[in-house]
Structure 1
Amino acid sequence: MQSGHNAMTGFVTVILALVIVIVGLVSRWPLWVWPFAAGVLSTGAAASLVRARRRRPLIPPERLLEPELPIPQVERWECVIKDVSLPSLSEDYDFQFSATVRWLPQEAPPNAPVVNAGGLAIDAVVDRARRITHQSPPHRSSLVQHRLNGELATMVADPSGRVLAMADNVRLTLADADRERLEKLATVRKNEEVWEHERKWEQSKRAYLGEDVLRTPGSAVVWWLAKNDEKIDKTVSDIGLLAELSSAANDQSVPDDFQRYVPGLAKEQEPLEAMADESTTGPPSPDEYARFLLRHSGLPDGDPRRALYLERVAEAAKGAGLPDVADALLRMLGDFPHPPQSAGPAEPPFDGYFDEDPPYDD
């Protein structure tokens, strides 16, 4: 502080000397004034220095900080642990825990046994880390490591109260083999999820088509018309195809009202139309008659009674003098399985006469 006062005094003295020189030159002082002015200036500077030396400093020297004094060394208690296995949320997948454990011994109560403070600190830190890792999934090791760094960064007393312990430089890893297994499982899980999503989407699409769009030929036509609302002619031309598609989707035959739109079935309708107007189209052929009679028999496809029906109608056609129709019916009969014969007496063939009207001799 005194050195600073001396510097300030010298600086002010120099400034005053310059001011005196300038004033003397401007005022053209006589020669005897210059030595007098220099003496006054020197006397003032000397008085200021003497006064500063006599003044007591504000802070006594014995109270001043002396950073040059040696600082006592702080005793450190720490230990490095490596690759300690800690459980994870998944069984058989353990974390590998490494850290620097630091502790601070506490005052022991009277008659307390001697303990290994480092062992207590390490056990306390590992137990704190285990409570976190066993609730964490193994594939999140990096995230769990950051959480451990935060949780273990505070000095906490161990259960015995003999040490305060914390951990630094925490490192949490997973074995390479376990990491590869988890990656494979994750890939399979993702693929399975995609497959399940695609399967449900396909089921939904099938249900939509089968239970809504193709439920009947009429619903299929309406759906197709909604898709092609500007192409009515195309929808009309596709009615037969839609009817076949709807019938196939429901394992049914094409309804009678839509058979005329199906190219293959439309030809089978021609005998019926011909019978309705023989004057225009001419009489149908025996095969057309046979198909017409079978189609309008009322017996569903696959019914074994259809064979019996053809047999009886063929016999009736022969008795009515229509041998061509009877032959056509018998040809169709070869395509159907015959029903089992009953155990009763066989019915005599029809001979064209009734029992109550026996033939008369000429």
Structure 2
Amino acid sequence: MSSDRKTVTVFLAVICGLLLAIVDVWFGWPLWGLPILAAVPALVAVALLARAGRRRRGVPPGLEPYLPVEPVERRSMRVSEVALPSTIEDYDFRFTATVRWCPVDGATGVPVVNPGGLAVQAVLQRARQITELRDARRSSLVQRELDGALGIMEPDASGLVLAMAEEVTLTLTEHDQARLDKLASVRKDEQVWEHERKWEQSRRAYLGDDVLKDPGSAVIWWLVKNDDHVERTVGDLGLLAQLSSAANNEDVPDRFRHLVPYPEPEPESEQAVHPGNAHVDEYTASYGSPTGEPFHEPTAGDRFEAFLRAADFKEGDPRRDLFALQVAKLVSAHGNTEVADDLEQRFRTPGEVDPEEPDPGFEN
């Protein structure tokens, strides 16, 4: 019972006592009855006060946890964009939250402190213990984990404040997020390429080491592929033999050579090896190698002699030597004396007169 209700109870008891006294005087009751009449309101007042006290103390022990708790004074501070480490080097989380704290009851002999700083330090330390073990690519998942871990009031290391965090946000910088997205895309493309490469290697090994290792294996493979169409497989025997031989860098076996649809080319001749040098083969066939050694690159004289034969200048024809000497003069006049000397040695007959020099026995 409150003090106001106690005052009202006493006041009513006094009024009742006065009313009883007036009634006693009015009816002429004996004087010894006055104390009795005055005690009755006092006893009633005492009984009411005792009953109120028992009611106040009569709360069952089982209901005490459900009684309203006195409000605790809480203070808050906003922290923004605090860098917290992750498992990936140089990729830090950006932590933003509202830190709430309250002082610990019963702390005595405490020096002057900054409770807000202690609370923020405690929250960041708890958050760092989680983020430094988490992948930076899972920022949204780690944020939900921090919501639960930091949502409980816990004392700091000094035991002076209780701290928690609300409205937690955990992100990466825009550039870091773009880099991680690009790395993830490249890594996925690399995995796809690696699988495709292994698949291609497997197919090559299957075709080279099993299917096309010899014509017989190629025929069996082709027969299975064509649903046991024997006639079609027989018609493709030559093609399969040529294909398996090419796959193994070998010639087509003689027993399949007559079935090959595309015959092997004839060996290249000397003329094909040296295109445009047909006159060289003619010179070699007519005169052979001057030293008796294998074929060598023809000289200018060799080529000119082949030209004379192609121009139908017969051996022993005086016009042949005369024409050759005239060409040698022209070549010498243009500064190529080595070729000119070779032509003169080849086509000048001993004792023959230079066609451009006058005959010494001729006189005007």
What TM-score bracket applies, with the shorter chain setting the length?
A: 0.5 to 0.7
Alignment of 1:205-224 (within 5 A): 205-224=203-222
Q: 1:231 — aligned with what?
A: 229
The counterpart of 1:129, out of the listed 110, 127, 138, is 127
Q: How far did residue 190 of structure 1 move?
A: 1.0
**Count of aligned residue pairs for this structure pair:** 220
SS of corresponding position for 1:93:
coil
How much does 1:115 deviate?
2.0
Aligned partner of 1:279 in structure 2 is: none
1:199 is the counterpart of 2:184: no
Which whole-Å CA distance do the structure 1 matches of 2:216 and 2:124 have between them? 74
8 Å CA contact 2:122, 2:163 repeated in 1: yes
1:86 matched to 2:84: yes
* Residue 149 (structure 2) aligns with: 151
1:260, CA displacement in angstroms? 2.1
Long gaps (5+) in structure 2: 1-46, 57-68, 269-284, 286-291, 295-364
| Match runs of 1:295-314 below 5 Å | none
Shift, 1:238, TM fit: 0.5
Amino acid in the other structure paired with 2:166: D
Contact map agreement 2:107 2:160 (CA 8 A) in 1: no
Post-superposition offset of 1:210? 0.3
Q: 1:187 aligns with which of 182, 185, 194?
A: 185
Aligned to 2:170: 172
Q: What is the root-mean-square deviation in Å for CA atoms of aligned residues?
A: 3.6
Is the partner of 1:230 in helix, strand or coil?
A: coil
Residues 239 and 261, structure 2, Cα contact 8 Å, conserved in 1:
no
1:250 to 224, 229, 248: 248
Match of 2:64 in 1: none
Aligned pair in 2 of structure 1 residues 221, 72: CA closer, same or farther (>3 Å)? closer
State the Cα distance separating 1:229 from its structure 2 match: 3.3
Inter-partner Cα distance in structure 2 for 1:341 and 1:87: 81
* 1:104 to partner: Cα distance: 2.5
Deviation at 1:110, TM superposition (A): 5.5
Stretch of structure 1 that moved more, 84-93 or 103-112: 103-112
Quick check: 1:108–1:162 contact (8 Å CA) kept in 2?
Answer: no
Aligned to 2:4: none
The one-letter code of the counterpart of 1:128 is: R
Q: What per-residue deviation string (whole Å, max 9, x for no partner) do you get for residues 273-331 of structure 1?
A: xxxxxxxxxxxxxxxxxx9xxxxxxxxx99xxxxxxxxxxxxxxxxxxxxxxxxxxxxx
After TM superposition, give the deviation of residue 137 of structure 1 in Å. 1.5
2:104 corresponds in structure 1 to: 106
Scaled by the length of structure 1, the TM-score of the pair is: 0.53
Counterpart in 1 of 2:158?
Answer: 160
Q: Which residue of 1 aligns with 2:238?
A: 240
Q: Deviation at 1:77?
A: 2.2
C-alpha distance in 2 between matches for 1:171 and 1:76:
21
Q: CA separation of 1:76/1:230 partners in 2, compared to 1, >3 Å: closer, same or farther?
A: same
1:98 touches 1:172 (CA, 8 Å); kept in 2? Answer: yes
User: Which of 116, 120, 138 is the matching residue for 2:136?
Assistant: 138
Percent of aligned pairs with the same amino acid: 55
Per the alignment, residue 260 of structure 1 pairs with 258
Q: Partner amino acid for 2:150?
A: L
* Native 8 Å contact 1:217 1:246 kept in 2: yes
CA–CA separation in structure 2 for the residues paired with 1:215 and 1:170: 66
Alignment partners' CA distance in 2, 1:210 and 1:182: 41
Amino acid at match of 1:138: A
TM-score, structure 2 normalization: 0.53
Show CA shifts across 1:246-267 (max 9, x none).
Answer: 011111111112212113449x
Letter in 2 for 1:114: V
The change in CA–CA distance for 1:139 and 1:264 in structure 2 (over 3 A counts) is closer
Asked if structure 2 preserves the Cα contact closer than 8 Å seen for 1:240 and 1:259, the reply is yes
Which residue matches 1:356? none
The amino acid that maps onto 1:85 is A
1:74 CA drift (Å): 3.8
Aligned-partner SS, 1:146: helix
Q: Which runs of 5+ in 1 are unaligned?
A: 1-55, 65-70, 269-290, 292-300, 303-333, 335-339, 343-362
Matches of 2:71 and 2:109, distance apart in 1: 30
